[in-house]
Structure 1
Amino acid sequence: MEEIRLQKRPRSALSVEQKVAFVLLLILGMGGLILGMLSFGANIRRPFDIQLANYTGEPVYGTDEMERRELAALKNKDSDQDGLSDYDELYVFKTSPYLSDSDSDGIDDRTEIFAGEDPNCPSGKECGAFFAGEETSQGETATSLLPPLTTTPAAGSFGNVTLESPQDILEYFQSLSTDEIRDMLKQQGVPAETLDELDDASLRELIESSLTKAMAENQFDQFLTEEPAQY
């Protein structure tokens, strides 16, 4: 009977305090659930965020910029340690950037180039033209790169400079600045692109070695007139 009486007793309404407490518990519960989900997602992403923050990979460049950077890198790289940059070997002298002696004749490429020899032709063999005294693919010789000489009965001359011997020609070129040499060669038809491929030191060394070899082969005799004999 007592149980029946309790079941039939009307339920008492919640007090204001109880309602407020219930709402607060509900809010705290929902907030805890949301924070827990956010924290779970953050924990999953954290390893990837750390890797991305520490990533220092190379930036992405366009095709033209990549080519420019690759060529610049070749100019500062010497794979075979022969004193010639990979860029010069590939695009100027057409030798192997990975072999210090491209023609395997026992003489390294740099020595042959600055001696006016063909670094792709073994010493003692005839393989075609290269530098001083031999015709190039453009039909030029070492002497054709020189400005025309205005001859007089006694000597040749470059403007106001009198040249009485091949040694005078060599000394004249040695006295010129690199820019003057470049301008002079451009006036004689040497492509600017070809000259731009050589740095100042390489250009001077190449010109001087070519002139020296041309002197040894008497290629400058046509420009000079022997002084008349004194009686």
Structure 2
Amino acid sequence: MLQTFAKLIRTATLSKSKPLLHHYKTLTTATTTTSKDEYFAAIQHVANIVRRDFYLERTLNKLRITITPELVFRVLRACSSSPIESLRFFNWAQSHHHHPTYTPTSVEFEEIVTILANSNNYQTMWSIIHQMTHHHHLSLSPSAVSSLIESYGRHRHIDQSVQLFNKCKIFNCPQNLQLYNSLLFALCESKLFHAAYSLIRRMLRKGINPDKRTYGLLVNAC
């Protein structure tokens, strides 16, 4: 009888603990979700300041926020349609006077470089690249170089696209399929079809096989 009674107690205890355990998990999940929501809400708040506040640096100083690479990247991404304001925010973020512990990484540099390139602000873009490579000793990734080649192409600066492609080794970027496709895109944007087909032949001579994007660019250009 005692054994039976003990089993009943254990069963009752387990049946009571399960709802409590479930409630605890629910609270933990809710807390995590709330923290994420608050984090992204804070990023959106900072992004709104960057986009809309004429005195954005002064307003940001009052927030006393902790600057991290992820926060800077996410704010830049959210403000990609506001290049001048994005640059002001980036310069503010890396100001050692206000944020001595923050050092920008290649991710944030490449984001602001892409934003400036897409807005046809190439002079400032190259100034940032110089700062990135010479002062911080960081390199542009092949994806970033590819994006810049295509940006030049969209703005019909085909000579600059070709020049960047030819000197990509300066950035320790190999002339791989991604870069060939980007230059092909730039050539097709400028309707330079003979040059595009010459580039394809050069690819094949280099032993670089076209992929789906290569063929897609050629088909769309026809």
Normalising to structure 2: TM-score of the pair? 0.25
Structure with bigger RCO (C-alpha 8 Å, 6+ apart) = 1
Larger Rg: 1
TM-score by length of 1: 0.24
